[in-house]
Amino acid sequence: QQRVFSGVQPTGNLHLGNYLGAIKRFAELQDSYDCIYCVVDMHAITQDMRVWGGPDELRRNIREVTAAYLAAGIDAERHIVFNQSQVAGHAELAWVFNCVARLGWLNRMTQFKEKAGKDRENASVGLYAYPTLMAADILLYRATHVPVGEDQKQHLELTRDIAQKFNNDFGPSIAAQGLGESYFPLPEPLIGGPAARVMSLRDGSKKMSKSDPSDLSRINLTDDADAIASKVRRAKTDSEPLPSEVEGLRPRPEAENLVGIYAALSGTTPAEVLQQFGAGQFSTFKGALVDLAVAKLGPIGAEMKRLVADPGHIDAVLQKGGERARVLADETMRQVKDIVGFVR
Ligand code: ATP
Ligand code: MG
């Protein structure tokens, strides 16, 4: 069976974009693939400590992302749920990939430019090397499919480039080890649907993000009904009524975003949403969106709160997942070491 790998950073403020673009889709893939879902704590510390919050906050957030996975219906018995730092192979393989990837490739990564901002000299080396660690996360399990939001598309392309260069550079060694013509698969991104890129509620040109300083920019998975209602009502929109055709949404990013969210939450398409709400008042549509969001997110938020209240259970899930992941990772690392020529 083909294998899925994906992850979410424990950097706090899990939001609707993380749910619709990633976690909800993780749950949907469980019947079709062997899945490995990781809480990527080593990625979380690439940003400034003020962003990830320090050790206590990190522990809390690792448990919260795990709780979100479970609350969204991910089955940690059938599939593997763990946190990245438990499996040393991620860091080991990332080092090999640091030596395969080229500076020019990393220099093109837009996430680094956005996160480093103007003060690039002060960004961590880890933030720069983030994409090679991400490639290692995926390829350590030789995953074939990776569900992510649209913002991670460029990193997935880099992962494929790294896999391909490794396969080429070490081609004769891979063959000599009896491992076939190429070792790593070129993983396919699974990106799509009306919520592949959920935008900020305050600015239709920016993606909804955990690290946005404005809490009004996002709907958090743990927001209660009042918070969801007030954020949706205050979401930035223009003053026109909704169009009846999707083409009419193109020049209106804020309206397009809310319609996309409604479509994703209701399992329909933007065209179907406009059939129902097109040409009507924005306020009517926003009211319906509040009801839908509360109905869909309320139970998940409540289950997350119930789960994080018992960290012992969550830690046991992560530990067991870590053990199962390590078995797969160790096998890859033995082969990678033989391919590269490290004596073990
Ligand atoms: P940060 O600002 O710390 O990077 P983030 O909100 O981007 O946080 P990540 O942990 O980096 O969250 O990403 C987890 C998953 O959620 C990834 O698959 C990513 O593509 C997806 N994702 C993040 N933001 C959005 C969004 N606005 N719309 C759709 N998917 C998203
Ligand atoms: Mg991100």
Q: Is residue 1 predicted with pLDDT exceeding 80?
A: no
pLDDT of res. 23: 98
**Minimum-distance ligand to the CA of 25?**
1
Ligand 1 atom nearest to 11, measured from its CA: 3
Mutate to test the pocket of ligand 1, among 112, 151, 200, 211 (most ligand atoms within 8 A of CB): 151
Mutate to test the pocket of ligand 1, among 8, 18, 146 (most ligand atoms within 8 A of CB): 18
Instruction: Tell me how far the alpha carbon of residue 220 lies from the centroid of ligand 1, in angstroms.
Output: 12
Instruction: Tell me how far the alpha carbon of residue 341 lies from the centroid of ligand 2, in angstroms.
Output: 35
CATH 3.40.50.620 positions along the chain are 3-196+311-340
Q: Is residue 239 predicted with pLDDT exceeding 90?
A: no
Share above pLDDT 90 across residues of the chain, in percent, rounded to a whole number? 95
Ligand 1 atom nearest to 148, measured from its CA: 18
Computed from CA positions of residues 32, 3, 112, 170, in that sequence, does the dihedral angle turn out positive or negative?
negative
Minimal CA–CA distance to 195: which of 28, 2, 11? Answer: 28
| Calpha distance 271→260 (Å, rounded) | 10
pLDDT in tens, 177-199: 999 999 999 999 999 888 999 99
- Find the mean pLDDT for residues 274-295: 95
pLDDT in tens, 128-139: 999 999 999 999
**Minimum-distance ligand to the CA of 43?**
1
CB 340 within 8 A of CB 179: no
Dig out the tokens for 220 from the structure: 């958090």
Instruction: Tell me how far the alpha carbon of residue 242 lies from the centroid of ligand 2, in angstroms.
Output: 30
- Find the mean pLDDT for residues 91-99: 98
Ligand 1 — pocket residues by CB below 6 A? 8-9, 11, 17-18, 21-22, 148-149, 151-152, 196-198, 207-211
Ligand 1 atom nearest to 15, measured from its CA: 6
Q: Which CATH architecture group holds 222-306?
A: Orthogonal Bundle (1.10)
From atom 23 of ligand 1, which residue's Cα is the shortest distance away? 18
Q: Is residue 24 predicted with pLDDT exceeding 90?
A: yes
pLDDT of res. 322: 98
Distance, CA of 108 to chain centre: 20
pLDDT in tens, 204-214: 999 999 989 99
CB 47 within 8 A of CB 211: yes
pLDDT of res. 124: 98
Q: Which residues contact 244 (CB under 8 A, 6 or more apart)?
A: 274, 275, 278, 279
Residues designated as active site: 115, 207, 210
pLDDT of res. 211: 85
User: Tokens 């909800």 sit at which residue?
Assistant: 24
- ipTM value: 0.99
Dig out the tokens for 261 from the structure: 């969210």
**Minimum-distance ligand to the CA of 48?**
1
CATH 1.10.240.10 positions along the chain are 222-306
From atom 25 of ligand 1, which residue's Cα is the shortest distance away? 17
CB 79 within 8 A of CB 35: yes
- Find the mean pLDDT for residues 232-255: 93
DSSP letters along 198-239, please? PBPSS-TTSB--TT-S-GGG--BTT--HHHHHHHHHHS---S
CATH of 3-196+311-340, one of 3.40.47.10, 3.40.50.2300, 3.40.50.620, 3.40.50.1820: 3.40.50.620
Instruction: Tell me how far the alpha carbon of residue 16 lies from the centroid of ligand 1, in angstroms.
Output: 10
Instruction: Tell me how far the alpha carbon of residue 207 lies from the centroid of ligand 2, in angstroms.
Output: 10
DSSP H or E stretch at residue 287: helix 282-308
Q: Is residue 45 predicted with pLDDT exceeding 80?
A: yes
